[in-house]
Structure 1
Amino acid sequence: MTPEDTLHEILNAPDRDELLKWLRLRSLIHHDAKLNFTLVHAGIPGEWSFSQALTFAYEVESVLSGSNYAAFLENRKQDQSRWHAKLRGWKRLNFIANAYTQMAYCNEQGKLDFNATGPVDAQPSGLMPWYRVPNRLTSQLNLVFADDAHFADSNCAGFYPLPALSALRLSTSGAMIAAMS
């Protein structure tokens, strides 16, 4: 764990087991059809359709909510940075989990970079925020996600990166971000 992680507070809590069970049973993606907004923690790979995004999230959610969740957690790695349909087993589940929880920057082909963070204009040539990948299959979605990378990128319609300590008011007419600090 890094110093920025707050998971240690959960792992050391007296009600640890209850908190971890609650966390394991959370969805990786939430879509509100009425408001036309989709919520993810980190992102959705550009080569996934909305239907695939829902299906792939369910694959990981099923493992996390099942009796084999400990084996999955023991095999969690950042070793899979590129999606392809032939991925199977732990590599497949790791990529899906990494995309939903850690994705920030990637190259034009969608290869994830787990080390890149900070403003868009401070990145090396060839890296871009995951939501700026050309020809994204979910470009029609309004996506809300945590801005753990500190993108400082405000000109991307339909994408709502939430900085820490902020909130987003959703409505059918759009979204408004408000700082909570």
Structure 2
Amino acid sequence: MNIYLIGDIQGCHSELCQLMKLVNFDVNNDQIWFTGDLVARGPDSLATLRLVKSLGNSAKVVLGNHDLHLLAVHAGIKKVKKNDLLDDLLNAPDLDELMSWLAQFPLVEQLPNENAYMSHAGLSPQWQPRDALTQSNFVQQRISGTQRVHWLNVMYGNFPNSWIDAKTEEEQFRYSVNALTRMRFCFNDGSLEFASKDSPKYNSAPNLAPWFDLSRSLDTTKWVFGHWASLNGKVANPNVFALDTGCVWGGRLTMLRWHDKQLFSVPAQP
């Protein structure tokens, strides 16, 4: 069995199909692990969700910030963002079924029999991998449960941005969602910073660093993530794999074959 891990699709259904064809993906024997943000600013989020859902157990998904926002829109909590192309999805006859399916996924997945993990944004420098798994389970139980609307309301906001300050269940929920789906840069103490989105080479703030430069766990732990398109897949740490290469922005859609770490990519369609 081949395990392929793929960066943010963001509704780029055509490129996803091309990439699956390029690697001769076999739904009966292989798996694709999706780093989150299946939907939003690309041309066909509806077809993307239907395709991933059709893969059954051959698809592993972690939720990204756009996926969670879609669930909040469906729940009536938020409005569609200006640049999201979601009309077809939100008017689809199988919308409720798709949203129930999407809400079941976690924020972290561990690769089989390895000290290796996947999340949308990364691993908080204030956590060990076991903390990320615990908090992913905590969030998953609430997003997939009967109180989904309450917890989707709770997730919005930037504070607390330090795990030390997350005292209540609601604060721990919000911090966990932010760390695992929104994080890029952190302050030197490991707390989360949300304003900066550029590549680290363009950010000279002395009190900020990419999350993967602050996490000591990554000396012995492998981590796969998406979310940060401006990295263009480039991270110096050999244990860290950045797979969002900005397909929705005119870049490429990138897939990593896990056993030999070979990369495959297709360019964005014009």
Partner residue, 1:93: 173
Deviations 1:105-154 (A, max 9, x none): 11111121112112111112222211111x52354211110043522443
Per the alignment, in what secondary structure is the counterpart of residue 180 of structure 1? strand
TM-score, scaled relative to structure 1? 0.86
The 5-angstrom pairing of residues 8-19 of structure 1 reads: 10-19=89-98
Unaligned ranges ≥5, structure 2: 1-79, 247-252
Deviations 1:17-67 (A, max 9, x none): 111111110121111133543111111111212221111111100101110
Greater CA drift, 95-104 or 25-34: 25-34
Return the alpha-carbon distance in structure 1 between the equivalents of residues 111 and 179 of structure 2. 20
Partner residue, 2:56: none
- 1:5 deviates by 4.4
Return the alpha-carbon distance in structure 1 between the equivalents of residues 231 and 242 of structure 2. 8
Partner residue, 1:59: 138
Return the alpha-carbon distance in structure 1 between the equivalents of residues 87 and 116 of structure 2. 31
Return the alpha-carbon distance in structure 2 between the equivalents of residues 129 and 5 of structure 1. 27
TM-score, scaled relative to structure 2? 0.60
Return the alpha-carbon distance in structure 2 between the equivalents of residues 4 and 136 of structure 1. 37
RMSD: 2.2
The 5-angstrom pairing of residues 134-149 of structure 1 reads: 136-149=216-229
The 5-angstrom pairing of residues 117-128 of structure 1 reads: 117-123=197-203, 124-128=205-209
Aligned-pair identity (%)? 25
Number of equivalences: 178
Partner residue, 2:261: 175
Per the alignment, in what secondary structure is the counterpart of residue 13 of structure 1? coil
Q: Aligned in 2, Cα 1:139/1:69: closer, same or farther, shift over 3 Å?
A: farther
Contact 2:108-2:117 at 8 Å conserved across structures: yes
Per the alignment, in what secondary structure is the counterpart of residue 231 of structure 2? coil
Partner residue, 2:118: 39
Which structure features the higher share of helix residues?
2
The 5-angstrom pairing of residues 21-36 of structure 1 reads: 21-34=100-113, 36=115
Partner residue, 1:106: 186
Q: Aligned in 2, Cα 1:65/1:139: closer, same or farther, shift over 3 Å?
A: farther
Return the alpha-carbon distance in structure 2 between the equivalents of residues 82 and 103 of structure 1. 12
Q: Which structure is larger by alpha-carbon Rg, 1 or 2?
A: 2
Return the alpha-carbon distance in structure 1 between the equivalents of residues 163 and 265 of structure 2. 34
Contact 1:38-1:144 at 8 Å conserved across structures: yes
After the TM superposition, list the runs of 4 or more consecutive aligned residues in structure 1 that deviate by more than 6 angstroms: none
Return the alpha-carbon distance in structure 2 between the equivalents of residues 45 and 30 of structure 1. 15
Return the alpha-carbon distance in structure 1 between the equivalents of residues 97 and 200 of structure 2. 38
Q: Aligned in 2, Cα 1:64/1:129: closer, same or farther, shift over 3 Å?
A: same
Per the alignment, in what secondary structure is the counterpart of residue 179 of structure 1? strand
Partner residue, 1:151: 231
Matched, 1:115 2:115: no
